[in-house]
Amino acid sequence: MATTLTGLLRLYYWNMKLSVSRSMAYRLDFIIGVLTSILFSGTAPFLQYIFFTQTRGYPGWNLNQIMLFQGILLLWLGLRETLFGNVMDVAHQLVRKGDFDRLLVKPYPPLGTLLTSGFNLKGIGSLISGGALTIYAFSRLDVMPSPLQVLLALVSIVCSIILYMGVTTLLCTMVIMLVQVGRLEELVDRILGFGDYPINIYPRFLQQLFLTVFPFAIWAYVPSQALLDRLGSDIVMAVIGCFTVFAISVWIWNRSLNRYTSAGG
């Protein structure tokens, strides 16, 4: 198990190096892409700024707190894009060309090989703007989080990665089973988008849902609540939810892999 994990990390490192080299092939486009990504990641905080300056915003948050939320959300989106941004493209290409079969005879588990092929340097734009916005929000809030609060925020980010790996695993399962999944990813993205707002805007049953069964609140709401020292016992259920989603996804993947009949060529 430990050897496999070390091997997968090494594989990830090599894939990362290759991805950086590929990005550098069209340098100007890459630079424009990163600058655009920074600009693009500014749109959601801009909208929130408009909401909170032109109206009273929504309950439970003020402008500086919502900027912290947006900063963490951008950090998460950047991290997600950087770590796993290419996974789905790779899965599609492998399955359509019939190359997925090759993964089955490689020394590492096919799912691990897929998940380690996701590095995408373009996510760096969101990471930069997310980091800058988080620092700005903290300076405006004039609070210094305690080590425990930082630890809780880090735990929720690790759980976010686990949850996202679960979601990606489910999507990869659909790709290997159905080959052509059309706009299913867009549908999943729309559903995941519910985690891009503080859960206070949703009715109570949805708030509970996003903290337990579909714990999307883990990637921005929970860490920002932790850093603002407003986190209750919510994190426990959310953490359990993340690991459960991941475990179920891997189970479904393994079952589907047994029924895989190959495609493409």
Partner 1 sequence: MFFLKAVQTNMKQFLQYRNSFLISIAIHPFILLLNIFLYRSIFAHNGAEQIKGYTLTEMIWYTAGITFVWIFIWNFAERRISDYVVTGDLSIHLLKPINIFWYELSAAVALRMTGILLEFVPDIIVYSVIYPPSFLTALSLAKFVIVCVLSFCLFFLINYLIGMTAFALKSNSGLNEFVYISMNLLGGGLLPLDFYPAWLQRICDFLPFKYIFYYPIQIFLNKESVNSWNEWGSIVLTQLAWIAGGYLLCHVLWKLAIRKFCAVGG
Q: Which of 44, 51, 50, 52 is nearest to 70 (CA)?
A: 44
Q: Does 57 bind partner 1 (CB under 8 A)?
A: yes
Cα end-to-end distance, the chain, whole Å:
33
Minimum Å gap between C-beta 190 and partner 1 is 4
Q: Which of 234, 67, 42, 227 is nearest to 147 (CA)?
A: 227
Residue 254 carries which side chain, given as an amino acid letter? Answer: N
Give the binding-site size for partner 1 (rule: CB under 8 A): 39
Q: Does 20 bind partner 1 (CB under 8 A)?
A: no
Map residues 68-107 to x or -, x wherever contact with partner 1 holds by CB under 8 A.
----------------------------------------
Q: Pick the binder of partner 1 from 2, 21, 56, 232 (CB under 8 A).
A: 56
Q: Which stretch binds partner 1 (CB under 8 A): 22-30, 109-117, 142-150, 217-225?
A: 22-30
- How far is residue 79's CA from residue 86's CA, in Å, rounded to a whole number? 13
- How far is residue 126's CA from residue 39's CA, in Å, rounded to a whole number? 9
- How far is residue 74's CA from residue 79's CA, in Å, rounded to a whole number? 8
Q: Does 62 bind partner 1 (CB under 8 A)?
A: no
- How far is residue 60's CA from residue 57's CA, in Å, rounded to a whole number? 9
- How far is residue 16's CA from residue 117's CA, in Å, rounded to a whole number? 8
- 221-244: b (≥16 Cβ within 10 Å) or e: bbbbbbbbeebeebbebbbebbee
Q: Pick the binder of partner 1 from 5, 18, 24, 47 (CB under 8 A).
A: 47
Minimum Å gap between C-beta 264 and partner 1 is 18
Q: Pick the binder of partner 1 from 3, 183, 233, 258 (CB under 8 A).
A: 183
Minimum Å gap between C-beta 31 and partner 1 is 7
Q: Does 201 bind partner 1 (CB under 8 A)?
A: yes
The residue ranges that bind partner 1 (CB under 8 A) are 26, 28-37, 39-40, 43, 46-47, 50-51, 54-59, 182-184, 186-187, 190-191, 193-194, 197, 200-203, 206
